[in-house]
Amino acid sequence: MDISGITNSAMVQTQAILHEAKADGSFPIAAVRRLREMGAWISANDEAIYETSPVPINVDPNQGVYLTQKSENEKNYLYVTIFKPVENLELPIGKNSSRVIDAKVVETNQPVSFSQSDNEVVLTIPQNIFSGCQIIVVKIEIHNS
């Protein structure tokens, strides 16, 4: 799945919040708080959203994982947006021509452990990262042979 799932989810939430507007045009405090949270998340994770493209990798949509990618400065990055807490995440990107170099949480730069075989990469997601945020983005640097 691509970033359109994230965009659609954000649009639905934004539309629901906009319907909460009061007659004087103001919003309830809870709606204002949610909009600020959404803006802060986008600001912290914008590199996984803007100037990215979809990834042609099939991931089970029930996992709550969306993938985007970009290349910059002769480096290739895969962004894994995780909507549900998960301990180990298996991604079918281990083709012999691709090698994972690094993985970290975008917002905090916290390292993410990984192992790679010929057929997949397994990310070991630190559970403490889900305590402050419900949606986490992991940035994977990939070297293509």
What domain range is 128 assigned to? 1-145
Task: Give the C-alpha distances (Å, rounded to integers) separating 144 from 7, 81, 91, 115, 141.
Answer: 29, 21, 16, 17, 10
Q: Domain of 103: which CATH number?
A: 2.60.40.1180
List pLDDT tens digits, range 17-27. 777 778 888 88
**The pLDDT of residue 9:** 62
Q: Which tokens hold the place of 103?
A: 């993985």
pLDDT bucket at 1, cuts 50 / 70 / 90 = very low
**How many Å apart are CA 39 and CA 120, to the nearest integer?**
33
Alpha helices in the chain (DSSP H): 4-18, 29-45
**Is the pLDDT reported for residue 3 higher than 60?**
no
- For the chain, how many structural domains are there in total? 1
CA proximity to 98, closest of 73, 78, 125, 81: 78
List pLDDT tens digits, range 42-51. 999 999 999 9
**What does pTM read for this prediction?**
0.81
pLDDT bucket at 80, cuts 50 / 70 / 90 = very high
